[in-house]
Structure 1
Amino acid sequence: MNILGKAVKHKTFGDGTIQKLEKNHIIISFSVGNKTFVFPDAFFSFLTTTDEELNFLVGELLEERQKQKLLAHEKKVKELQQKALFRSIAPAAKAKTRKGKRANVAFKCNFCDGGKSKEQIGFYGVCSDKMIYNNIKIENRTWCNAEDCPCLEYLKGEITREKLDSYCQDNGIVCYESQMLKDWKAFAGVVQNGKRKGKAMKLQQVQKNSLCVLTTRTPGTGENERFIFALFLVDDIYEGDEQEEGYVSTTSKYKIKLSPQEAKKMLFWNYHSNGNKPKNPAWSSGLHRYFTDEEAVQILKAVVEIKKETADSYLAVDFLEYYCGINGIAGNTVGEARGALKR
């Protein structure tokens, strides 16, 4: 079909006429001069026409483009699912027995309110529309803004909410945060800048029976308000390599999630501090950091206090005693917390 000479209308420039078609671009003449647009994409947002033939052509092209995007996205989701499956079965073949100093690990997580309830802060499904907008448009989170992120596609109107939610069903995955309290698994992530940008990060100091704490902060709050929303005893670890980032997980009973009210009382920087600037609650780069057994015991003791008179009260006490026993720690010799906010 020859579209040259067809009349169109732009939201800002008004009436115009198509002058030229070059591959996937069209040049349109307006009263303010010639303007170039991507074809047919511009008709999705900026351009309209009353020409029936052109409308039909544009509709067919946009529909085909949408199908291609959906196919590409579904392919990417399958790759993510296969990657997650690989990570769940690979350690038996790839894990190494590490020797050396053992450390505990804390993870910095993007806030996710998926599955939020009285019992948990979220991290159990896809974020709400409000949180998706926040993580993409306001917080500018790295993965949330990736081209193949399902949430970004949803925000752009390329997929429906129903389609987005379906990706988290049947062991699917939208992002690491969306499955964190389903699978009790945390990943080391990839390097975001510098010479090693894009390279997988390793977990070189974590071993079996290390404590893992999951931290986040709510939108609009500062780093000093970062809190712990869940913790578990590591019994499954993959150190990672150049292609696959490391992860920790658990299948044991020693895992506790905190309610929204409980979590706000567990400020991470009450227990942890930076070696070079101990009074400064700054995480800086990276998705994980290591902390000492002393800090781990202080965190577990605080959880025992918070969980008093709850269904998890016995588990919290058992967790503390087991952690100290298995790691040879005299819990009664551990002093008060001396994190950045306590100095």
Structure 2
Amino acid sequence: MNLLDEQVTHKSFGQGSVVACDGSYVEVAFALGTKKFVFPDVFGTHLALVDPKLAKFVAGVKKDIEAERREKEAELARKRAAEEAKRQRLLAREKLIKSHKLSPVSQVAFWCDEEEQEKVFAEGKVFTGLKKSGVNAGEPNRLVRLHHNSCCVITAREEDAPEKERRVVGLFMVGESFVGKLCEDGYIPAHSEYRLRLSDEEARKLPFWKYYVNERYPKNMTWNSGRHRYFDNVWAAQILQDIVALKEGTDEYEQVQGFLEHFCEMNRLRETDVPSPNGALVRASA
């Protein structure tokens, strides 16, 4: 589009002629001197082209630019709103973390089949499952006891194996800023550093029921339904201590020892005060 030498009229400066136009600005020579205006914003408000066809074309260009500008402004507003919403969520998390009262049972054990185990350790997250009844049926479970001090213990057993052979196949601390109460999608992210998957041989040495016990039925080893169970903080520390013992002399020893130290710090436990495991399997064997 070439506007050079085109005649224009200005509300204040009168008749003029375009002497330059670069797509962002237009310069017009008037009797009292040359003036520079923003293009195409000035047209239709203060400046008008004498040629009606050219005026119509410029009006269309202006309309398109204004529409694009409005879309950019709307997108910017959406981004700002999203950033503000994120900021508010982070503030809410920080508030909950600061006011968090440590529960002695703030860990969780999950029952995962072989296929899901692969997914959990590959993606670094575990799904809490869906509510099966009530007004919120079909929505993800919110494990409200879980906080930044929580650990997810992944368990499994062979389909035809007795329940007492359930084993610990891995575990991870939850993400640094995770708060179960605020989790909407049902996925618990793993900590960026404190996560561990055990080999089959190692898992066979970590029977789940060595640690877990229902005090009402201390020798019973049953997990007939449900995807998860809350888990005592001390039991998780016992598992980590046993893993440290398994890893002694290996390249992973320092990593697992660091995991144990971090867990104890987050849960206000002293390693030396953690008792020996006394779960249902231990009691049934006594």
3-state SS, counterpart of residue 212 of structure 1: strand
After TM superposition, the structure 1 = structure 2 runs for residues 35-184 of structure 1, keeping only pairs within 5 Å, are 93=89, 96=93, 97=96, 99-102=100-103, 103-112=106-115, 123-124=117-118, 179-184=119-124
Distance 1:254 1:231 in 2: 9
Unaligned regions of 5+ residues in structure 1, if any? Answer: 1-89, 113-121, 125-178
Deviation at 1:232, TM superposition (A): 1.1
Unaligned runs of at least 5 residues, structure 2? 1-85
Relative to structure 1, the CA distance from residue 305 to residue 224 in structure 2 (aligned partners, 3 Å threshold; closer, same or farther) is same
Percent identity for Structure 1 against Structure 2 = 34
**In structure 2, what is the Cα distance between the partners aligned to 1:289 and 1:92?**
31
Aligned partner (choices 218, 243, 249) of residue 309 of structure 1: 249
Cα displacement (A) at 1:237: 2.6
- Structure 2 residue aligned with 1:200, among 128, 137, 140? 140
Higher strand share: 2
* Shift, 1:325, TM fit: 2.4
The yes-or-no answer on 1:327 pairing with 2:267 is yes
Residues 198 and 222 of structure 1: CA distance in aligned 2, closer, same or farther (over 3 Å):
farther
Deviation track 1:14-56 (CA, whole Å, cap 9, x = no partner) reads: xxxxxxxxxxxxxxxxxxxxxxxxxxxxxxxxxxxxxxxxxxx
TM-score by length of 1: 0.50
Q: Per-residue deviation at 1:261?
A: 0.7
Residue of 225, 231, 235 corresponding to 1:285: 225
2:206 counterpart of 1:266: yes
Relative distance call for 1:123 and 1:291 in structure 2 (3 A) is closer
Report how many aligned residue pairs link the two structures: 190
Shift of 1:238: 5.1
Q: Measure, in 1, the Cα distance between the counterparts of 2:157 and 2:250.
A: 24
> Secondary structure at 2:262's aligned position in 1?
helix
TM-score (norm. length: structure 2):
0.59
Q: Contact (CA 8 Å) 1:189, 1:245: kept in 2 or not?
A: no
Q: State the AA in 1 paired with 2:123.
A: D
RMSD: 2.6
Q: Residue 245 of structure 1: CA displacement? A: 4.8
State the Cα deviation string for residues 317-342 of structure 1 (Å, max 9, x = none): 11112221233211111111011101
Q: Is the 8 A contact 1:237 1:247 kept in 2?
A: no
Q: Matched residues in 2 for 1:182 and 1:92: separation?
A: 31
